[in-house]
Amino acid sequence: MRIGNLSRRTGVSQRLLRYYEEQGLLKPRRRSSGYREYDEEDVRTVRSIRTLLGAGLGTRTIAELLPCMVHDGQGLAPACSGMMSDLRRERERIDSALADLMAARAALDTIIAATPPPAADGGPDACLAATPGETAGR
């Protein structure tokens, strides 16, 4: 199948499919005319790439892991135990990012809780903070 058909089947733009090829994630055959030729395995590969991207992995990591992944009928599964350290490292990276996001959310919750309601501060456009150039002793 040609790239347009692969795009329709996977919901991934042709531009993104070409990017996946540049990153070494897809390796389509080339016709004598130069057109890319894809098969059913490429449909599964694109879906695997999307799954791994959705899991927070970058394309470099995916390029390393993809050859060691298989479809087990329900989703992706590792085909070799050697990749477990990479998967655990990525999970730790994601856990750290989640912790940072949760801390940012908690900080925003604190600020929101401390903000006076609109009626108490003179309306939604009012601000109690001094504007630049004003003195703090007003």
CATH of domain 3-116: 1.10.1660.10
Rounded-to-integer distance, Cα 12 and Cα 85, Å: 30
Taking the complete model, does pTM exceed 0.75, yes or no?
Answer: no
How high is the mean pLDDT in each 10-residue block of the chain (138 residues)? 95 96 93 92 92 88 84 73 81 92 96 80 58 56
Q: Residues with Cβ < 8 Å from 117, sequence gap 6 or more?
A: none
With beta carbons less than 8 A apart as the criterion, state whether 79 and 69 touch: yes
Domain ranges of the chain: 3-116
Residue 116: what pLDDT? 82
Tell me how crowded residue 91 is: count the other CB atoms within 10 A of its CB: 12
